[in-house]
Amino acid sequence: MNKDNRVINAAILGFGTVGSGVYKISCDMKEELLHRTGAYLNIKKVLVRDKTKKREGLDMSLVTDSWSDICNDPEIEIVIELMGGISPAKEYVLEALNAGKQVVTANKDLLAEYGAEVREAANLKHCDMQFEAAVAGAIPIIRPLKQSMAGNRITEIIGIVNGTTNFILTKMSETGMSYDQALAEATRLGFAEADPTADVEGLDAGRKMAIMSSIAFNSRVLFSDVYTEGITKISADDIRYAREFGYVIKLLGLAKITDDGIECKVHPMLIPEEHPLASVRNANNAVFVHGDAMDDAMFMGKGAGQMPTASAVMGDVVDVMRDIVYDSCGRVGSSCYKEERVKDITESSTKFFMRIKAEDRPGVLANIASVLGNNGVSIAQVVQKSRSEGIADLVIITDEVVEKHFDDALKVFKGLSVVKEVSGVIRVY
């Protein structure tokens, strides 16, 4: 095989931030890519919505607004899908795979919802379908989970996998800003989108956790299986109180395999200041993995941004090019060969932190503790923070408790006449 003369043609779908970054790398690194794969990469087409629009640095002769131009071109071997969203990305990816083309995508929405369908199409045609950039941007995590850690039974993944919320929480924590102020700052600096819902409500993180869990536990986890809770209710007070107890508040994705199924959830959490994830600041992402042989490993880096995401896409493209050169496409296929149940959040166990305003008179604390205790929630720590005008401010950290029991206890507890207000109910690592 004369690998040196081989040219592999690819098409980029979408020329937004990441698409233009991928195009830039593929132009800048022609020689390196040849050395690394044995073939030249040629971007033959770029699919855009408006083909009359001028685009900085892009050879306009490559531009098309017709998907069939790409799908029906037998010379195009790799389709790099960077449009995002479900439709028409899903149709294009499926049609590309059905046409025997290799696919690289950064589309977490698509994979977290239709991963099984897309994977099945890839398997049927023995095609590569790679998606490192869909989770945690530049951080290599999909390939390590599928390959480097394949000699392990992975039991747990904990991740800070959304840069926007980590930026907001870092600002709140380090400057005392309110949630709204920090969100405004994130928007101003381009870390938050005009509509930040998917980020701040934990949906984006939930999609990434679904994708990683499916690989780590070899069983499909859908986005709809993941419990998600965002950071919109976190107050500067919560953060201040948490710090007094030696904790930092982070939006965490948590997934683990238990005897009776998979737990997969995203919610704010107090983690000890000395935990490695506590020092992950601003828009950085980090993923912590526990495997039975390897013990703990942590991966940290840029979770978003044009070039970091493009870097992850190009890592996949290089891998696909090697597979094309060696005629081994499809060599790393589906990870999901089991059918584990995904547990409901109410079945998980955790510790809780909460702040309470209660009547300040003798016996109230005993009353509170006994009501919680009668409902199965025992108190690990309670501190009275202040008292004024007959009201005491208490902070409680519970022992580990099944979420359902805690919810039930909380209902009874909130009904107590001595309890005036319960706020800042946040889980504790």
Q: Which residues in this chain contact a second copy in the complex, by CB under 8 A? A: 21, 25, 29, 32, 35-36, 132, 138-140, 143-144, 147-153, 218, 276, 279, 291-302, 305, 307-308, 310-315, 317-319, 322-323, 325-328, 330-332, 335, 337
Partnered with residue 354 across adjacent β-strands are 396
Q: Half-sphere exposure (CA, 13 Å, Cβ side) for 413?
A: 30
| Listed residue (295, 260, 278) closest to 155, CA to CA | 295
| Shortest spacing between CB 337 and a second copy, in angstroms | 4
Min. distance of Cβ 182 from a second copy in angstroms? 21
Active-site entry in 208, 256, 302, 343 = 208
E strand spans, 111-200: 129-130, 154-160
Indicate the residue among 25 and 134 with the shorter CB distance to a second copy: 25
- How buried is residue 412: exposed, middle or buried, by Cβ count under 10 Å (0-12/13-18/19+)? middle
The residue among 170 and 348 lying less far from a second copy, judged by its C-beta, is 170
* Length of the chain (residues): 429
Q: How far is the CB of 292 from a second copy (least distance, A)?
A: 8
Task: Considering the complex, state which of residue 31 and residue 389 has its C-beta at the smaller distance from a second copy.
Answer: 31
**β-strands 63-64, 40-47 pairing:** parallel
Cβ-based nearer residue to a second copy, 164 or 335: 335
Which residues fall within 8 angstroms of residue 340, CB to CB, at 6 or more apart? 217, 219, 257, 261, 262
Task: Work out how close the CB of 28 gets to a second copy at its nearest, in angstroms, rounded to a whole number.
Answer: 9
Q: Is residue 208 flagged as an active site residue? A: yes
State whether residue 133 is helix, strand or coil. Answer: helix
Output 98 or 306, the one with its CB closest to a second copy.
306
Minimum separation from the CB atom of position 293 to a second copy (A): 4
| Pairwise CA distance, residues 223 & 268, whole Å | 18
Give the other-Cβ count within 10 Å of 16's Cβ.
12
Measured CA to CA, the distance from residue 336 to residue 213 in angstroms comes to: 10
Active site residues: 208
